[in-house]
Amino acid sequence: MTPTVRSRREAPPPSGPSVEHEHEHAHARSGDVAVVDWPVAAQVAGRLANPGPSASRDELDALVAGLRDAAARAVPAVLDVTRMRPAPESAATSDRLSDVYVVDRARWALANTEVMASMTDPLMAGLSARERSQLSSPVTSLVGATQVGGVLAALSSRVLGQFDPYAVGGDAAAPPLGRLLLVAPNVLHAERSMRVRAADFRLWVCLHEQTHALQFAAAPWLVGHLRGRMGELVDEVTNRSREMSRARWDARIAGAGRALVSAVRGRDGVLDGLLGPGPRRTFEEMTAVMALLEGHADVAMDDVGPRVVPTVRQIRRKFEERRDGAGRGPADGVLRRVLGMDAKLAQYRDGAAFVRGVEREVGRDGFNAVWTSPATLPTAAEIADPGAWVRRVHG
């Protein structure tokens, strides 16, 4: 049988600590009590995830080597097109913006359980024994693991790359080098299905992800800022979960049902039930920042131009068709909404429009003031009105 891009033997990990090794330490730090059994969640995702397209031994070797080479080649191109540099206090340098890992779908899911555990487990550790018993038990922990694992399995086939600044316990004072995950089977499937030039597409993907690495390297305070905001949201969800744990079962089921229907209809109904006005403002603030990060990376990956990626315009055209779901059925559309992929797509486009709008008024160097401090990040209203950000920041 033709091998797939899945196992350690078929897609060897890079030098340095493996994702599995890091995961063991992350779980050991998390304590004994958790709403979700994270190792089980990773196992569920790994078992449910389709391993991806088939490839020969030579194709697999070329794929891994090609992705590693593309990640390295993307660094000088990103520095050039963005006119940004890593801050002196960052662990990144002009030669190395991130630790690069070429992974399969199961290991991508595993890495994401690490991030989730690092965000949620400290909150559980701060609860009283009684509160922990209300929110966590062997049964609820396994149910949570099954749910999270199922979602990660569904997402694992759709992510080409991901920059993770939180994997090693990011600290605003001394942020570590972030981890760049390139999901080999998904890159292979995308370049085959779109019939694009493989070397160009791999570089194009890496340009986007290395731009993310540069964003956090140029603004080392950003990881601590986002971690703090996410902590506030997780804390709010935890508080609401306490209330739900005391509610009648029929009320819990009805609330979950309404949230699911709202999500399928394209609204953020889950948040309607879990966040109050204050945390919702925090969520909107984070959404604006994520739109900035994704839109900026999309602009950078296209602005390198044909000199760096000869077929960049063809790739963008075909990729937009793929993003819009060309050739996919109604069931896929429902899944995209449940997983929040349509909202994520809007972030890319709204963020790119913001970046372009600001640059038209104050140029690229003027736009780069956005990385100065939390005060210069755009609000949700400013993402929709770039001129408002220019007036506030540049006067």
Work out the mean pLDDT of the chain and round it to a whole number.
79
| Tens-place pLDDT, residues 138-179 | 666 777 788 888 889 988 999 999 999 986 544 445 557 899
Query: 42: closest CA among 88, 89, 86, 106?
Result: 106
Percent of the chain with pLDDT over 90: 51
pLDDT over 70 percentage in the chain: 67
Write out the chain in H/E/C secondary structure.
CCCECCCCCCCCCCCCCCHHHHHHHHHHHHCCCCCCCHHHHHHHHHHHCCCCCECCHHHHHHHHHHHHHHHHHHHHHHHHHHCCCCCCCCCCCCCCCCEEEEECHHHHHHHHHHHHHHHHHHHHHCCCHHHHHHHCCHHHHHHHHHHHHHHHHHHHCCCCEEEECCCCCCCCCCCCCCEEEEEHHHHHHHHHHHCCCHHHHHHHHHHHHHHHHHHHHHCCHHHHHHHHHHHHHHHHHHHHHHHHHCCCHHHHHHHHHHHHHHHHCCCCHHHHHHCCHHHHHHHHHHHHHHHHHHHHHHHHHHHCCCCCCCCHHHHHHHHHHHHCCCCCCHHHHHHHHHCCHHHHHHHHHHHHHHHHHHHHHHHHHHHHHHHCCHHHCCCHHHHHCHHHHHHHHHC
What pLDDT is attached to residue 160?
96
Q: What is the rounded CA–CA span in Å between residue 324 and residue 318?
A: 10
Give the β-pairing of 179-183 and 161-164: antiparallel
> Residue 351: how many CB atoms within 10 A of its CB?
24
Q: At what angle do helices 330-338 and 341-367 cross, to 10 degrees?
A: 60
pLDDT score recorded for residue 33: 52
Task: Identify the band that residue 379 occupies on the pLDDT scale cut at 50, 70 and 90.
Answer: very high
Q: Residue 43 burial (CB < 10 Å; 0-12/13-18/19+)? A: middle
Tracing tokens 């749910």 back to the chain, one arrives at 147
pLDDT value at position 284?
Answer: 86
pLDDT of residue 347: 83
Of residues 271 and 49, more confidently modeled: 49
| CA-wise closest residue to 193 among 316, 301, 342, 322 | 322
Q: Does residue 137 carry a pLDDT above 50?
A: yes
> Could you give the CA distance from residue 355 to residue 325 in angstroms, rounded to a whole number?
25
Domain boundaries, the chain: 19-394
Question: Which pLDDT tens digit goes with each residue over 227-249?
Answer: 888 877 766 665 665 555 555 54
* Predicted pLDDT of residue 276: 62
Please check the confidence at residue 52 and state whether its pLDDT lies above 60: yes
- Greater confidence, 56 or 120? 56
Q: Looking at residue 145, what is its pLDDT? A: 83
Tokens at 31, concatenated: 């304590």
Please return the burial class of 21, using the count of CB atoms within 10 Å of its CB with bins 0-12, 13-18 and 19+: exposed
| Model confidence at 299: pLDDT above 70 | yes
* 337 in Cβ contact with 259 (< 8 Å): no
- In contact, 124 and 35? CB cutoff 8 Å: yes
**pLDDT top residue among 28 and 313:** 313
